[in-house]
């Protein structure tokens, strides 16, 4: 089925309702690298049920619509789809267990031309079914590299946050494991690009790459450690752009610039030296 931007803008997504447990929270935290040092008691609180805490970035997996770009009715060349940007707005700290629901909608499609592709923006508000309260709002941007040039409006890319051209105030290096993507996918993102060597090669990569949202989870660990004293309530809003893939086993360096309760950041992979997340913004309380 050919790609039809107007049809995708009007696509009706099912409302997703999911129940999650403390075990799911611990599995997510392990999937983004918490617990690599089992003697680090701050990190242990995210992977051990005694006084369990939940990483704010776990919100991206709650009532997740799955890899919907692969569904036939979207018309997308799913092998060429990449995660381009993410925004997380936290309305309250995430419970360690519960039932949540959300409905995804496509809010914008930007034609960047046949050479670049189409930027597709979706959003969803995750609610606690028991209380009826909103937990978080998630805005996701994907780049459909095989579906640009469809004749849509060639709008400018939305304004992005700027990282200062100075030495960072803080630096946090965190390793990833060679099996990190295989572990992370158990939290619900089963895109084969992150597990199958043949699919990865077909998409132009030398090997399966780390999920963009797993890289985001490693980044969240760095920000929680450096800017929030591991207190989830202090983590209010984050937005960023993904600029390059991370291969499992690489070390992610987060560079941080502080300006009161606002933080600018970017991430580099140290093997080789390349920026993998840019134009980062965090609001702390």
Task: Reduce the secondary structure of 134-198 to three states and give it as a string.
Answer: EEEEEEEEEEECCCCCCCCCCCCCCCCCCCCCCCCCEEEEEECCCCHHHHHHHHCCCCHHHCCHH
Burial class (CB in 10 A: 0-12, 13-18, 19+), 152: middle
Window from 4-8, 20-24, 122-126, 170-174 with minimum mean pLDDT = 4-8
Residue 203 has pLDDT above 90, yes or no: no
Query: Is 83 an annotated catalytic residue?
Result: no
d(CA 60, CA 121): 14
User: What mean pLDDT do residues 209-220 have?
Assistant: 96
263-283, pLDDT tens digit by residue? 999 999 999 899 999 999 999
Report pLDDT for 230.
97
Q: How confident is the model at residue 86 (pLDDT cuts 50, 70, 90)?
A: very high
Residue of 111, 189, 211, 221 marked active site = 189
d(CA 177, CA 30): 11
d(CA 19, CA 232): 21
30-82, pLDDT tens digit by residue? 999 999 999 999 999 999 999 999 999 999 999 999 889 999 999 999 989 98
Cβ contacts of residue 179 below 8 Å, gap of 6+? 248
117 alpha carbon, distance to own chain's centre: 20
Q: Helix, strand, coil shares of the chain as percentages rounded to 5?
A: 25, 35, 45
Report pLDDT for 156.
59
Place of tokens 């803080």: 170
5-39, pLDDT tens digit by residue? 999 999 999 999 999 999 999 999 999 999 999 99
Report pLDDT for 145.
94
Query: Is 194 an annotated catalytic residue?
Result: yes
Q: Which of 81, 84, 75 is nearest to 203 (CA)?
A: 81
Please, which residues bridge with residue 105 across strands? 123
pTM to 2 decimals?
A: 0.92
Residue 260 has pLDDT above 80, yes or no: yes
Domains of the chain, each with CATH number or no CATH:
5-284 (3.10.129.10)
Residue 1 has pLDDT above 90, yes or no: no
Report pLDDT for 2.
74
User: What mean pLDDT do residues 237-245 have?
Assistant: 96
d(CA 110, CA 219): 27
Residue of 194, 202, 221, 229 marked active site = 194
Peptide bond connecting 272 to the previous residue in cis, omega within 30 degrees of 0: yes
- Which percentage of the chain shows pLDDT scores above 90? 89
Q: Which of 211, 253, 255 is nearest to 32 (CA)?
A: 211
Report pLDDT for 66.
86
Report pLDDT for 97.
98
């Amino acid at each position: 089925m050919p790609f039809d931007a107007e049809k995708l803008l009007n696509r009706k997504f099912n409302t997703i309702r999911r129940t999650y447990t403390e075990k799911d929270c611990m599995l997510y935290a392990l999937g983004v690298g918490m617990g690599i040092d089992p003697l680090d008691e701050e990190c242990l609180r995210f992977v051990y049920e005694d006084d369990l805490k939940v990483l704010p970035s776990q919100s991206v997996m709650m009532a997740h619509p799955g890899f919907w770009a692969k569904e036939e009715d979207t018309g997308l060349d799913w092998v060429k789809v990449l995660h381009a940007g993410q925004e997380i707005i936290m309305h309250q700290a995430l419970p360690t267990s519960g039932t949540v629901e959300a409905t995804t909608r496509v809010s914008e499609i930007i034609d960047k031309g046949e050479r670049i592709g189409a930027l597709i923006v979706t959003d969803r508000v995750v609610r606690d079914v028991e209380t009826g309260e909103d937990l978080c709002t998630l805005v996701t941007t994907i780049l459909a590299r095989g579906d640009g040039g469809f004749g849509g409006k060639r709008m400018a890319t939305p304004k992005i946050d700027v990282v200062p051209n100075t030495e960072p105030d803080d630096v946090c290096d965190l390793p990833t494991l060679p099996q990190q993507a295989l572990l992370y996918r158990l939290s619900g993102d089963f895109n084969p690009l992150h597990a199958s060597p043949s699919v990865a090669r077909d998409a132009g990569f030398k090997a399966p790459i780390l999920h963009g949202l797993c890289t985001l989870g490693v980044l969240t660990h760095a920000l929680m450690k450096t800017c929030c004293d591991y207190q989830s309530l202090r983590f209010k809003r984050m937005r960023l752009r993904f600029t390059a893939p991370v291969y499992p086993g690489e070390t992610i360096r987060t560079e941080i610039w502080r300006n009161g309760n606002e933080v600018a950041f970017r991430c580099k992979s140290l093997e080789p030296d390349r920026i993998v997340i840019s134009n980062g913004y965090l609001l702390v309380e």
